[in-house]
Chains A and B, each alone.
Chain A
C-alpha cells in the first residue's frame, strides 16, 4: 500500500530554534499534501494544504510566516517551524494524496520546545 514517511519522529530543541519536518510519499505521486497539528486528546487541526509547485493555502489563524511550507516535488513537502517557542510544542502530522484518492498519513512528529 501507499507509504508516507515523516521525519523526524521526535524533536526536542531550545526556544528560538527553527525546526524542519519532512514528509515524503515513497511509492506514489502526491499532488496534494496536508499538514495537521494535534493537541493532546484532540482531533486533527488542519494547518495548511500544499499542492506541488504552488504556494500553500493556510487555514485561518495559522501564521504563514511562522509555519513555512514547501512542496517542491510530487514526493516531498516540508514544514519549517520558525523561531519555535514552547507554545509550538505539539504533534504534527502530514498526509499525502493523489487525485481523488485517499489520504495516507505519516507517523507524525512530536515537537517539544524547551
Chain B
C-alpha cells in the first residue's frame, strides 16, 4: 500500500537554527515525490518535485533531497517568514491519478 509519513508533527526553531523535516514513503515504483508549503488559512503552494534517489532541488533557504525510502527538506538559517506547514506528497503507484499526502510538519521560526 502506498504510504507517506512525515516527522516531526511540529518543529520550533530559533531564527538561524538549521534543521531538517523528514518524509518517509512506501510505493511500488516511485513516479514523483512533491513538497508543498501551506500558510494558515490558505491552500498549499508547490515547492519541489523529486523523481529519483540522489536528486536534490534548492530554493532560497530550502533544499529537498531524496533517497529510496525518504525525502528530507533541509532548512538553512531559517527566518520567521519560513513559518508554515510543509506537506510531502507521493504520486500513487499504478495507473492512478492520485496524489497521496502526508500529515504535514508545522514549522515555527521564532525571531
Are A and B part of the same complex? no
B contact residues vs A (CB 8 Å cutoff):
none
